[in-house]
Amino acid sequence: MPVQARSKTAKIDSSKYHGLSRRDLLRIYRTMYLSRRIDDREIQLKRQNKTFFQISGAGHEGVLTAAGLVLRPGHDWVYPYYRDRALCLALGVTSLEMFLQAVGAKDDPSSGGRQMPSHWGIPRLNILPRSSSTGMQYTQAVGMAEATQYFEIYPRALEEARHAPLGEHVRHKPDEIVYVSGGDGSTSEGEFFEGLNSACLRKLPILFMIEDNGWAISVPVDFQTAGGNIAKLVANYPGLFLEECDGTDPLASYAVVKRAAEYCRMRKGPALVHARVTRPYSHSLSDDEKLYKTDALRQEEAHRDPIPKFGLFLVREGIVDEKELEAIEAEVDGEVRESSDRALAAEPPAKESILVNQYSPDVDPVSSHFESAPQFSGEPRTMVEMISATLADEMARDERIVVLGEDVADCCNEEDLEFVKGKGGVFKATIGLQRRFGYGRVFNTPIAEACIVGSALGMAARGLKPVAEIQFFDYIWPAMMQLRNELSLFRWRSNGAFKSPAVIRVATGGYLTGGAIYHSQSGEVLFTHTPGIRVVMPSTALDLCGMLRTAIRCDDPVLFLEHKHLYRQPYNRSPYPGPNYTVSFGRARVVREGNDVSIITYGAVVHRAEVAAAHLEREGVSVEIIDLRSLSPFDWEAIAATVRKTNRVIVAHEDMLSWGYGAEIAALISDKLFDELDAPVRRVAAMDTFCAYQPTLEDEILPQTSDLVTAIRELLAY
């Protein structure tokens, strides 16, 4: 690199450089330069069509290399974003590992060829794998930091986590912190504010690093953030350490990051560093900054480039001479050539690996291991009573289990517990759990569904077993990104290096007489369409107990759907089946044997099918009813058996008819069992609209017993 001065090396006064030695300063330069040269080589390879995408960390190297000196590899927990190449290099990720990801090699340690380059995930360094979804990381970091606090209070949970699958990656240090980063554009996402609010509420040891290069692709920060400065917007968050720095100056950045990290290590609360950096390259190779940046602006940004600035600084300070600097650069250039050549020769992943690590290879909830006989005791309990009873037994057995969500605790102020009956959820499904296990294990969250699911993911990634509640399915949509792009994909995108076996309990469905649009929604098909997550919906108290316990004990994320209408029905009650009763997923329940027609259903429609079958029995019609109860995976063998038995099939569900869950079952039957059918597969479901408030309209919209009776008669007459 060109410099304007030459100076002989000499011993330095480290106090001038925030305690950093000459070796540290040279390491900073080498890391920064290595980061840039990897970017440049990746750009070259992409233009040669030898790699498939490139996004650089150019301009961010100063603050990131400084952060790498402050953070402790394999000690602190790091959730980097795609500009954090220099940080990952400083922490110990190798240039070869980065190039293996760029070419999508089988031996890419971050994803095995599944994620784009610059999406690092390295278990040995406590670097967790990020997705490309902007801003989703902040709530997940909250869960990771909550795990830090939790392990400090519940050490037995740490030992239990270490003995679980992937337990070799479970670590906890008394002064560890969680680092999470993002660009200035990511602070426009709601998850940033949800995460920051939760971090301040719970005084979590998180260091938020906001790398502000002034652009969110082509949108300047002045058009992205009110006032153009995120630090000013969050300045009044209580307990938040907040400091700004010139992120192109690694020494100034080091001083600020060190103070912020120390604040977190001392358990004073979270910290936020707002680092002003620059972006001398386009957003990615899919973007051309010349389309929206003037030549003058691009020249100005080039003058702030941290690498030539710091190299010139080292020479002028007499820390290194020009020849030694050139020798460092030559060594780095050689490393980059060697690493990229090795990566280009690396083996790509096999086609057979596509589905590997989509679900846990260690715990199969479909297996016979989860089939058990009930040991009944006590009076019959409703579904909602069975939830708290099952959770209580599981929490007593496994200290890793944490219950969180809106209103799930008995009371926010534990000192008031002796004076109040306790809330325990809007349906009282978790009543008494906080009183028994304490607020550390059962706690309320803000009304922030994305943060609930995101923090559950972060806890699960650290080895806990969170059971999170979304009060109503109708309000799950703010968490949709966390559920589809994050929780469900966490294991697969890391190629099995990490997992996120959280349980998300959700009250769903209608038939409430007055539930209306926003308390009666279904929509399970949107999640059964999502690989990586298990989806179940029991219709009886006995099944709820067994399937909730399986959900907790399996090693995959589970969306556990609980039908509100069924919570307190007398017809589906059961005595408690014992603390070890489990039900295998993917196994349907034969509710009623029959010979003339089959109804394949689940949820609240099961009982309506029973009533319809009893009505038609008086006419001599024999109806078989199959309760799927597990929607993903589902029991194809049970479906095939009933089709072959009766040759006439109705698929019934509460959700809307068009593009619904039943359409896939009907299509599979037609595709695989057409010769077994004596009539077309018939679907019975809700109208293609939302549920209305007025009861007569609700009855018309949702499928009723009479609809099933009519459908059966028409099918038999075909």
Catalytic residue positions?
519
- Residue 146, H or E segment: helix 137-153
Which amino acid would we find at residue 558?
V
Pick the closest to residue 451 from 431, 427, 475 (CA basis).
475
As to burial, measured by CB atoms within 10 angstroms (0-12 exposed, 13-18 middle, 19+ buried), residue 191 is: buried
For 398, list phi and psi in degrees, rounded to 5.
Answer: -135, 110
- Tokens found for residue 266: 């001392």
For 310, list phi and psi in degrees, rounded to 5.
Answer: -75, -35
26-52 burial, b for 16+ CB within 10 Å, e for fewer? Answer: bbbbbbbbbbbbbbbbbbebbeeeebe
- Residue 274, H or E segment: strand 271-276
Break the chain down into helix, strand, coil percent, rounded to 5.
45, 15, 40
SS3 of 173-209: the string is CCCCCEEEEEEHHHHHCHHHHHHHHHHHHCCCCEEEE
User: CA 100, CA 346: separation in Å to the nearest integer?
Assistant: 7
Pick the closest to residue 596 from 626, 622, 627, 616 (CA basis).
622
Task: Answer for the pair 478, 441: CB distance below 8 angstroms, yes or no.
Answer: no
Q: How many Cβ atoms sit within 10 Å of the Cβ of residue 82?
A: 22
| 181, β-bridge pairs | 209
Reply yes or no: is the peptide bond before residue 633 cis, omega within 30 of 0.
yes
DSSP class of residue 424? -
What is the chain's length? 718
User: CA 233, CA 220: separation in Å to the nearest integer?
Assistant: 17
For 365, list phi and psi in degrees, rounded to 5.
Answer: -70, -10
- Residue 649, H or E segment: strand 649-656
Instruction: Give the dihedral sign, CA 148/154/155/158.
Output: negative
Helix (H, G, I), strand (E, B) or coil at 212: strand
DSSP per position, 429-474: TTTTHHHHH-TTTEEE--S-HHHHHHHHHHHHHTT-EEEEEES-GG
